[in-house]
Structure 1
Amino acid sequence: MSYLKPSFHREPEMDQQSIACPANMLTVYPLRT
């Protein structure tokens, strides 16, 4: 649920998850299609 948090209130650990989640989805989307 870290991605639901505001962008201006990001934490080091949350930042990694926030980037990893969308990054994985964006990378898997084109590969799955």
Structure 2
Amino acid sequence: KAKGEFEKGKIEADKDLKEFKEEIEGTSKDKKVKSD
């Protein structure tokens, strides 16, 4: 049971990390557009 909870938590963390990276990439792209 504990392993299942850990796996679920890992998947959630990976999803959050992916969204976080995309958000950073999105903001850096916006900055490039503004700086041009």
Q: Which structure is higher in helix share?
A: 2
- Indicate the TM-score class for this superposition, using the shorter chain for normalisation: 0.5 to 0.7
How many residue pairs match? The answer is: 23
TM-score (norm 2): 0.52
RMSD: 0.9
Which blocks of at least 5 consecutive residues in structure 2 are unaligned? 27-36
Task: Spell out structure 1 runs of 4+ moving beyond 4 A.
Answer: none
Higher CA-based Rg: 2
Identity of matched residues, %: 4
Q: Unpaired segments of 5 or more residues in structure 1?
A: 1-10
TM-score normalised to structure 1 length: 0.54
